[in-house]
Amino acid sequence: MQRLQLAEGAPEGLEVWRLSLDLNAPVADEDDRLLSRAEWQRAQRLRRHADVVRAVATRAALRRLLSAHTGIAPEKLVFTQNAYGKPALENAGGPAFNVSHSGHVALIALAPGGAVGVDIERCRSEAELAPLQGLVLSPSEQLDHALPFMERWVVKEAVLKALGLGIADHLRALSITSSLGPPDTYHLEHSLPVSSPLQAWPLPAPSGYAAALGYAKSYVKSNVQNERYSTNF
């Protein structure tokens, strides 16, 4: 597990860790035994062995990192969910967190306060992505080709995962452009039901992947109903 170096403007205390996964290996016993019964059952419902390895290894790594921050044994940590399904530690004193995985790579983000989100995706061809542009890009983004589609996509996912909002319903409400201010950051414009400044930064990713980190120091969510938070296991 490798801790990533974040952009210079990222707030102090934010952490992002990257795991390289061997998807052909058996599930590690030392990972398996850290999971709760519900987590284990959820992993076993996955049909592909690679998905099981990815889910178990990422959850076990998350538990180890949270244990280091809280002093609670990793297997004894208890998770809860808010009204929108976003997971958090039952102990309010622990850090905020978010996970994402794609292919053989997983990311885990931690924040001492506020809300954090992370996303990594394996890049696809422009031809494959073309039908998605109208579903993902805002009207202004469809006229601005300064950033690759995949780069915008991971930023949107990271920010919306941080906020715990239903991702599919809000992708086009968030516009991403390159920042004219600090380097290695993004300029965000949105009509999201939140009242806090939002920040996002690119993350270093292996060749063929795109990744981003989203953060809100504090925010108040408007009355949004019938949404489901979307995240990796």
What's the mean pLDDT in 19-48?
A: 94
Per-residue pLDDT of 52-73, as tens digits, reads: 999 999 999 999 999 999 999 9
Contact by Cβ (8 Å): 64, 33: no
Give tens-digit pLDDT for 138-193. 888 888 888 899 999 999 999 999 988 777 888 888 999 886 666 678 989 898 87
pLDDT confidence band for 223 (50 / 70 / 90): very low
In angstroms, rounded to a whole number, what is the distance separating the alpha carbons of residues 97 and 154? 17
Give pTM, 2 decimals: 0.89
State the angle between helix axes of 49-70 and 37-44 in degrees (0 to 180), rounded to the nearest 10.
160
**pLDDT on residue 166:** 73
Tens of pLDDT, residue by residue over 96-138, are 999 999 999 999 999 998 999 999 999 988 888 888 888 888 8
State how far the Cα of 79 lies from the Cα of 233, in Å rounded to an integer.
Answer: 12
DSSP SS3 for 192: coil
pLDDT level of residue 222 (50, 70, 90 thresholds): very low
pLDDT of residue 92: 62
- CA 233/CA 219 separation, integer angstroms: 24
Alpha-carbon distances, residue 185 vs 30, 164, 175, 191 (angstroms): 37, 21, 14, 20
Angstrom CA distances, 24 to 33, 50, 219, stand at 19, 6, 41
